Structure 1
Amino acid sequence: MWSMCWKLGLIVVAIVSLYCIYLDQIIANKFEGQKWHLPAQVFSRSMALYPGAAISHNQLLSELKLLGYRKVANPRQVGEFSASKTKIDLWRRPFLHPQGQQPAQRVMIAFNTRGVSSVARLSDHRQLAVFHLEPVLLDRIITGDGEDRLFVPKAQIPQPIIDALILTEDRTFYEHYGVNPFAIVRAAMVNISAGHTVQGGSTLTQQLAKNFFLSSQRSLTRKVREALMAIIIDFRYSKDAILEAYLNEVYMGQDKARGVHGMGLASQFYFGRPIAELTLPQQAFLVAVIKGPSYYNPWRSPERAQARRDLVLRLLMDAGKLTVPQYKAAVESPLGLRKSDKPVHQKLPAFFAVVKQELNDKYGGALLKRSGIKVYTTLDPMAQKAAEKAVKDTMKRLSKNDKSLQVGMVVTDKYAGGIAAMVGDKVPGYHGYNRAVEIRRPIGSLIKPFVYATALSEGDKYNLATPLKDQPITLKNGQGKTWSPKNVDRKYSEQVPLLTAFKKSMNVPTVNLGMAIGVKNVGNTLKTAGWRDNVSQYPSMLLGAVNGSPLMVAQAYQTIADSGRYRHLSSITAVLDSDNQALPVRREERKQAISPATDYLVQYAMTQVVQSGTAARLGQAFPGVKLAGKTGTSNDSRDSWFAGFDERNVAAIWVGRDDNGKTGLYGSNGAMAVYQAFLNNRPPMSLRMAPVSGVVNGYFERTSGIAKQDDCRNVVALPALTESYQPAANCGKPLSWWQRILN
């Protein structure tokens, strides 16, 4: 009998041992490999502050508010700032920048009417060449299990959270070996006495084992397996390693379809700020909610949630972790939740579609499935917010007479050369057809700056005062078909100065000019400026019979705004792997598409469009602010376009119908209305229009366009190319060759 029992015992021990070895392998693979699939994090651009930056005092305040910085009288820790009328004293958080880790730093930022005037580090009063704010975490791209988390090392978890967690969930955590038999017996007795489950006996290690490896199904087999795994985990790994895993694994709530896991993400989900900046009551709440994230949901049951938080605070006080005054102050404070209108992740379907496509093109489709990827984008959250509000407000008004109207909008960063904002539908959060990228519609008069740029590059033939024919014309192609372009008002003036034809968007003078300089040459200018699609060689192209999207228009106008320099618009600045190493990427070549001098003349002409041309209503809305713009309307008012820029942003907007129906809108009362609303939401920075080498302030006779002296009668002052500006002497006689040399 004893022999049989002994043999059976050996068999049981062998089976248990083998099973434990099997469990040990499972645990080792999890703990020593990739514990979690960390979703790819997508960040906005990092705001760069430097002397001369086109960023106003109010815009920086808005950015700090978005980032969750706290305004105080005197900053004493990271995440705080103070502000006067012309300065901001900021204690920046540490953060990971694509160029490396950025430390916490306190700076004084000063402003003038042009933007940032200086950035000084307060520790040594050194003037900084450039200073970055941390980017906004726009979203995490979830794949697979639907779990969302933000990993935070244990060393960065505030100690009160750890103290409260152990006091609340497992007081003997540092004494037991993974399982606490006394707690199990005590819980069983309490539950039997109550007649139902009111207390659990699981240790933190058991909870971790269940969360990592097991289901939530209640059974004796599962509990035994959980206990064995907890013992193995405790034997294999340090208490700190177990705590770190638990703090990043524990389920903390539900954000719609996403499960919120870990303290780091819970801090952002409930309070909208990093865990290191939470107050003591907020830290206590994170521990309190573990018991039942749904039951203690603070938005649904605030009194219940606060009572649970106060219980955790009481445990801290009883354990000597808090003084009585600290406890009383903590329980009297509100929960301090983030505002419900401040989302944890952004709805940016149009922009994210472009980001994903660019990632796929540059790195392949498998990139987003890798754990711990960090994607840094060009998106400006404040520009995006302003664009979305402009679209919603303006389209609501425009759609009163036509429910079928739609919109596409792209905003670029003039200096960085990236996409700052994008809206693809009149409902900005709608996942569907992205009109900012996918439409192909005639761009109308938006092509005219490239017609005039081509002409003005020939300074010996054309300047801003050159008279252009404004008479009815009929053109015939090789097949005998005719085309008779007309001015919008059906009126003609015999001849008009080039600048007037441009700012009034006159069709006939533009066609005459385009035919003189060559349709092919105009097409080449447009393509050099960044137009990727084919450009027709027909004369109708001169009036915008070229199909494009807001993104394509923004690319071409970005070139004009950037002193004629072409840079391919992108949505991504850098991608880091799980070790924070930058992934290599091929950069597109930059080139000078339009000479800076010629481009200056085009920019000047575009400012006149806003001052006294087809966009004069925009100029009246922003007196004293120099803006550049161009309206565009396709045949029968089917497409309303506007493209323009201030010192900081370029914008391209289309308003029309998906069925290509008539809208009754022109560029000036459709798309331009969206841009005007955008500038109302994001006050513009006046164009600086710095002097450019190769440009001189010239004087031209109003009727003939001939260069004259400044004291001659009937002259107008206009910028001109230096190399071709040869004013006549004494208001009539040309300068001699030696006079030209002396000049």
Structure 2
Amino acid sequence: MRTEDRSAQRQSTKGKAKSKSRARRSKPGILWRIWSFLWKLALIVVVLCGAAAIYLDQQIAQKFEGQKWHLPAQIYSRSMALYPGAAVSHHQLLAELRLLGYRKVANPREVGEFSASATKVDLWRRPFLHPLGSQEATRVLISFDEQGVSSVSRGSDKRELAVFHLEPMLLDRIIAGDGEDRLFVPRKELPQHLVDALLLVEDRAFYEHHGVNPFAIIRAAFINISAGRTVQGGSTLTQQLAKNFFLTSERSLERKIREALMAIIIDFRYSKDEILEAYLNEVYMGQDKARGVHGMGLASQFYFGRPLTELTVAQQAFLVAVIKGPSYYNPWRYPDRAQERRDLVLRLLMESGKISVDEFKIAAESPLGLRPENRPVHQKIPAFYAQVKKELALRWGDSLLNESGIKVYTTLDPIAQEAAEKAVKDVMGRIGKDSKELQASMVVTDKYGGGIAALVSDRNPGFDGYNRVTEMRRPIGSLVKPFVYMTALEDPKYNLMTSLKDEPLTITNKHGQSWSPLNYDKTFSGRQPLMRAMFKSLNIPTVNLGMAVGVENVVQTMRDAGWREETINPYPSMLLGAVDGSPMMVAQVYQTLADNGRFRQLYTVTDVLDMNNEAILTSRLPSEQAIDPVGAYLAQYAMTRVVAEGTGARLGRTFPGITLAGKTGTSNDSRDSWFAGFDERNVAAVWVGRDDNGKTKLVGASGAMAIYQAFLEQRPPVGLRMTPPDGVIQGYFNSQGSPLERNCAGAIPVPARAGSWNPEPNCGQPLSWWQQLLGN
């Protein structure tokens, strides 16, 4: 090979080498490629995490700064009013305090305690929210006499109070579709021992970490690996809150990452107290049948039947203990297991110096102190709730119950409801034991306010079905008679002793159809005084009187008294009860009669507050003086004789010395048994019959009145005071209804309209000259 060829080849080889060298220097190494990939991946992760954080932050802000929960509508009973002259007995107040969960002690020293002697009650009332404003905790001394409350004085300065209210009883909560039930408790009302115990058990570093505690996670991992199973969790309270609020219980890495990220955001955005408040109102605490119990406020009522602020240290420790497993530590099912877990929490409180050794010993030796399992945390009164919902929709609008946190104050009297339910169950268990088709319903109202105090629509009061109180229509029988007599007594020519015919009677209408009513015993007496015809429930005198005053006028009296839902045909047969109505309609007209002719539309709801405790206003219910009070009073007096010596005499014998008013009623063939009556406090209407309108073999006294009697045995009556209104005087009449002077032989004293008693002097004989001279 030539020299120049070899030289060219060497040059070419060198050029290729240099070119390869430059190529090697320009191509990146493996480390560089890894680094490049990692920082790009990190950038993507940061961007994605940032986007996720922004999204989660918006979710969290919307939840925390908006409405955290849809709080159930809270339904409250009436607030018992105590004042001098109130028709509240010593026995009734003690029963009310029992239902409200007050503790009887020798000397009240704390809120929620009371002591009682034979005539006095020393009470330290809880603070509560009243529709008229917040009521502070107050100690009072309530004194009683035979008429009811005689005085109410404040314990701090002995000042006499014009009126004093007990807190209403929380009856139930109307639950939203998610099935969660809770009572919200703000942070300032959460007991400190409860918070201390929670942090000791669930998250000791709560105030040090920033939502996630890496050391707790690592420690839990080592413990779980050593044990071969999950025995300890590393989640903080904030992580648990994030999971409860936003996530499911799914066990996955993705869910844990989201939980940790949300916990960090929550901790960054909100204070520790806000996080504690949210956690303690959200945490799952047990199951009340179909309802989930959430939060410490409701858990306190569910387990102990009293407010959270009144729990002992031992009870607070139990609530913290049960968080770990509400089913596993169910205190009614596993009391030993629950108490062991509670004592562990108490020991942690002692070891940390939150309670002393002596306090620990006292608490650990105390029983769990649970509410009786047969005393429900919410009252099962479906007929009353149905009426409440109906009234809320009519007066406040259909959408009201969809609002969160509203408070509905009702007229329900828990003692009256309890007595009505027991009376219905006991009597129906006796008279209906051989006839399961026999049914009953009962309405009890507040005599002076017109509020519905109790409702029972089935022989099984808790049954949620056909509402006989409002939906049923049956002939009311002789319950119409007091309105016939009241119509007549509005006319001065009638008085309680006016003589009425009791002879065979036939009435023929314009179509030639005849009607011949009979008395119940199918006998006739010739003539009867008006009052006796009333209390013996005689048919013929009643028809004669109704025809004399005009059937249309009797119908108008019924309408004025509040019979508005059904038309009354002005036929003579209506005078004996050919009028179809419901127990609620009967209660309405008897309420008007008992309240001296003042019509007040019956109602169940007094006030509604929104979630900010502001009143939601609505139109007022009608109220007017619809019937002459004199006629109403005289009819009341005649009804007291029904109980004293008439068809309701058995009731009078059961409560001797107590003035009661009532009227029995029976429809044709004894298909319906009715009773309507009242004492100084309540009006009641009772029906007993069959849904298929079959015969019952009962009359008013043996069926419906038996339930009313049992009701009064459970809830001792307050005798009627029978204070006559203006225009009523003491009159004197003979057996034919003619007015007599007071000292005349045969003069019968009865109340009378002032214009109806104009006796002739000297017992109807002309005065002698010397009597005229003496001015006799």
Q: TM-score band (shorter)?
A: over 0.9
Q: Which residue matches 2:554? A: 522
CA distance in 2, matches of 1:506, 1:593: 27
CA distance in 1, matches of 2:124, 2:358: 29
CA distance in 1, matches of 2:121, 2:98: 13
Q: Which residue matches 2:654? A: 621
CA distance in 1, matches of 2:621, 2:215: 67
Which residue identity does 1:494 align to in structure 2?
G
Q: Does 1:39 align with 2:85?
A: no
**1:7 aligns to what SS in structure 2?**
helix
Q: Which residue matches 1:284? A: 317
**1:680 aligns to what SS in structure 2?**
helix
CA distance in 2, matches of 1:399, 1:8: 81
Q: Does 1:462 align with 2:526?
A: no
Of the three residues 490, 506, 524, the one matched with 1:474 is 506
Cα 1:734–1:116 change in 2 (3 A) is farther
Q: Which residue matches 2:528? A: 496
CA distance in 2, matches of 1:587, 1:485: 44
Structure 2: give runs of 5+ residues left out of the alignment: 1-32
Please report how far the alpha carbon of residue 701 of structure 1 lies from its aligned counterpart in structure 2 after TM superposition: 1.0
On the 8 A contact 1:727/1:735 being kept in 2, the answer is: no
Of the three residues 182, 186, 211, the one matched with 1:153 is 186
Match runs of 1:327-726 below 5 Å: 327-459=360-492, 461-532=493-564, 533-702=566-735, 704-726=736-758
Which residue identity does 2:278 align to in structure 1?
A
**1:728 aligns to what SS in structure 2?**
coil
**1:138 aligns to what SS in structure 2?**
strand
CA deviation digits over 1:273-332, x for unaligned, max 9? 000000110010000000000000000100000000000000001101111111111111
CA distance in 1, matches of 2:41, 2:675: 86
On the 8 A contact 1:79/1:277 being kept in 2, the answer is: yes
Cα 1:247–1:319 change in 2 (3 A) is same
**1:129 aligns to what SS in structure 2?**
coil
Which residue identity does 1:118 align to in structure 2?
S
Q: Does 1:67 align with 2:97?
A: no
Q: Does 1:729 align with 2:761?
A: yes
**1:116 aligns to what SS in structure 2?**
strand
CA deviation digits over 1:564-594, x for unaligned, max 9? 1110000100111111111111112211122
Of the three residues 127, 133, 148, the one matched with 2:160 is 127
**1:88 aligns to what SS in structure 2?**
strand
Which residue identity does 2:494 align to in structure 1?
Y
CA deviation digits over 1:444-468, x for unaligned, max 9? 0000000000000001x21000000
Question: Identity percentage over the alignment?
Answer: 69
On the 8 A contact 1:418/1:570 being kept in 2, the answer is: yes
Cα 1:393–1:263 change in 2 (3 A) is same
CA deviation digits over 1:366-421, x for unaligned, max 9? 11111001000000000000000000000011113322110110000112211000
Q: Which residue matches 2:280? A: 247
CA deviation digits over 1:489-533, x for unaligned, max 9? 111111100011000000000000000000000000011001112
CA distance in 2, matches of 1:589, 1:375: 20
On the 8 A contact 1:82/1:90 being kept in 2, the answer is: yes
CA distance in 2, matches of 1:675, 1:67: 25
**1:222 aligns to what SS in structure 2?**
helix
Match runs of 1:169-208 below 5 Å: 169-208=202-241
**1:120 aligns to what SS in structure 2?**
strand
Q: Which residue matches 1:99? A: 132
On the 8 A contact 1:378/1:572 being kept in 2, the answer is: yes
On the 8 A contact 1:441/1:549 being kept in 2, the answer is: yes
Please report how far the alpha carbon of residue 111 of structure 1 lies from its aligned counterpart in structure 2 after TM superposition: 0.4
**2:612 aligns to what SS in structure 1?**
coil
On the 8 A contact 1:409/1:550 being kept in 2, the answer is: yes
**1:127 aligns to what SS in structure 2?**
coil
Q: Which residue matches 2:24? A: none
Over the aligned positions, Cα root-mean-square deviation in angstroms equals: 1.3
CA distance in 1, matches of 2:433, 2:238: 61
CA distance in 2, matches of 1:198, 1:6: 38
**2:251 aligns to what SS in structure 1?**
coil
Runs of 4+ in 1 over 3 A off after TM superposition: 733-736
Please report how far the alpha carbon of residue 732 of structure 1 lies from its aligned counterpart in structure 2 after TM superposition: 0.8
Question: What TM-score do the two structures reach when normalised by structure 1?
Answer: 0.98
On the 8 A contact 2:732/2:757 being kept in 1, the answer is: no
CA distance in 2, matches of 1:600, 1:458: 13
CA distance in 2, matches of 1:454, 1:9: 93
CA distance in 2, matches of 1:290, 1:586: 46
Structure 1: give runs of 5+ residues left out of the alignment: none
Q: Which residue matches 2:26? A: none
Q: Does 1:108 align with 2:146?
A: no
CA deviation digits over 1:314-353, x for unaligned, max 9? 0001101111111111111100000012110000011111
Which residue identity does 1:709 align to in structure 2?
E
Which residue identity does 1:666 align to in structure 2?
V
On the 8 A contact 1:149/1:261 being kept in 2, the answer is: yes
On the 8 A contact 2:494/2:756 being kept in 1, the answer is: no
**1:495 aligns to what SS in structure 2?**
strand
Please report how far the alpha carbon of residue 74 of structure 1 lies from its aligned counterpart in structure 2 after TM superposition: 1.1
Please report how far the alpha carbon of residue 733 of structure 1 lies from its aligned counterpart in structure 2 after TM superposition: 4.3
Of the three residues 266, 271, 276, the one matched with 2:299 is 266
CA distance in 2, matches of 1:146, 1:22: 28
CA distance in 1, matches of 2:142, 2:362: 35
CA deviation digits over 1:107-142, x for unaligned, max 9? 110100000001111222211111000000000000
Cα 1:79–1:735 change in 2 (3 A) is farther
Q: Which residue matches 1:227? A: 260
How many residue pairs get aligned? The number is 737
CA distance in 1, matches of 2:767, 2:233: 100
Q: Which residue matches 2:19? A: none
CA distance in 2, matches of 1:418, 1:300: 41
Which residue identity does 1:102 align to in structure 2?
Q
On the 8 A contact 1:726/1:735 being kept in 2, the answer is: no
Of the three residues 294, 299, 305, the one matched with 2:327 is 294
On the 8 A contact 1:728/1:735 being kept in 2, the answer is: no
Question: What TM-score do the two structures reach when normalised by structure 2?
Answer: 0.94
After the TM superposition, which of the residue ranges 540-549 and 323-332 deviates more from structure 2?
A: 323-332
Please report how far the alpha carbon of residue 735 of structure 1 lies from its aligned counterpart in structure 2 after TM superposition: 9.8
Which residue identity does 1:714 align to in structure 2?
G
CA distance in 2, matches of 1:499, 1:728: 22
Which residue identity does 1:602 align to in structure 2?
A
On the 8 A contact 2:688/2:704 being kept in 1, the answer is: yes
Q: Which residue matches 1:27? A: 60
CA distance in 2, matches of 1:224, 1:424: 55
Which residue identity does 2:123 align to in structure 1?
L
Which residue identity does 2:495 align to in structure 1?
N
Cα 1:206–1:14 change in 2 (3 A) is same
On the 8 A contact 1:511/1:543 being kept in 2, the answer is: yes
Which residue identity does 1:178 align to in structure 2?
G
CA distance in 1, matches of 2:131, 2:759: 53
**2:540 aligns to what SS in structure 1?**
helix
